[in-house]
Amino acid sequence: MDQILIKDLLVRCIIGINDDERRERQDVLINITLFVDLRAAGHSDRLEDSLDYRGLKKCIYAEVEQSQFYLVEALAEHIAGMCLVNPKIYKAQVSVEKPSALRFARSVGVIIERERV
């Protein structure tokens, strides 16, 4: 299956369980792999035959920026669900990292993979 990558999308949002995390926006780093069939777009060279990943990125960015999840797991699940609403996307792999969440670690995060049922 063909893939479209959205790499290192940096968004600031409320995420975490501690009081200070519920008050101040924090950086989250999002990577998304979208599994789609790109053959038609490859042959036609027309945007209509591809996936509007710019539009999807804008929706995800706006939604995450306003979100207030406690867990990165829940945020990743929500993003995967947003991706799978598009009928062109068969599967989505989403990683969400929270930089500096753990002392002495660059980041902590999760990777989930969800398929259209």
Neighbours of 27 (CB within 10 A): 15
- Which of 10, 16, 14, 6 is closest to 28 using CA atoms? 10
pLDDT above 90: residue 37: yes
Write out pLDDT tens, residues 66-113: 999 999 999 999 999 999 999 999 999 999 999 978 889 899 999 999
Rounded Cα–Cα distance for residues 29 and 57 (Å)? 13
pLDDT above 90: residue 65: yes
Rounded Cα–Cα distance for residues 80 and 62 (Å)? 15
pLDDT at 101: 84
- Please give the structure tokens belonging to residue 53: 């990943």
Query: At 46, which helix (H) or strand (E)?
Result: none
- Please give the structure tokens belonging to residue 103: 């002392």
Rounded Cα–Cα distance for residues 98 and 79 (Å)? 15
Instruction: Kindly state the percentage of the chain with pLDDT values over 90.
Output: 92
Domains of the chain with CATH codes: 2-115 (3.30.1130.10)
Query: At 91, which helix (H) or strand (E)?
Result: strand 91-99
Instruction: Kindly state the percentage of the chain with pLDDT values over 70.
Output: 100
Segment 16-41 shows an average pLDDT of 96
Residue 117 banded pLDDT, cuts 50, 70, 90: confident
